[in-house]
């Protein structure tokens, strides 16, 4: 049960990083890489049959691409909402 809350906290932190990028606040490079790495690790749960882990892989790739390229805000809103929803549901 505690592990679910920790993983949900990672989702909420990653959603906060996405929201910072959307509103023009440049998040620290270390926290962006940290969130991208954790999301990629969480995305490996797709191998066990968890379908929602595809969202984590998708969000991790977008975070890594946003370091090198300017990503449209539409592609930043989608993972922000999905990760925030996953994170908040894990706290229920």
* Sequence ranges of the domains in the chain: 2-90
pLDDT of res. 46: 82
Task: State the Cα–Cα distance between residues 42 and 46, nearest whole angstrom.
Answer: 8
Each residue's pLDDT tens digit, 73-84: 989 999 999 999
Share of the chain above pLDDT 70, in %: 100
**Up-side HSE of residue 38: CA atoms within 13 Å toward CB?**
18
Instruction: Give the global pTM.
Output: 0.90
């Amino acid at each position: 049960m505690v592990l679910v809350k920790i993983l949900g906290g990672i989702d909420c932190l990653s959603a906060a990083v996405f929201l910072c990028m959307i509103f023009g606040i440049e998040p620290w490079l270390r926290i962006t890489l940290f969130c991208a790495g954790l999301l990629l690790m969480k995305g490996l749960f797709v191998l066990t049959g968890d379908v929602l882990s595809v969202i984590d892989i998708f969000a991790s790739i977008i975070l890594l691409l946003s370091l090198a390229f300017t990503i449209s805000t539409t592609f930043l809103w989608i993972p922000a909402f999905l990760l925030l929803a996953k994170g908040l549901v894990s706290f229920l």
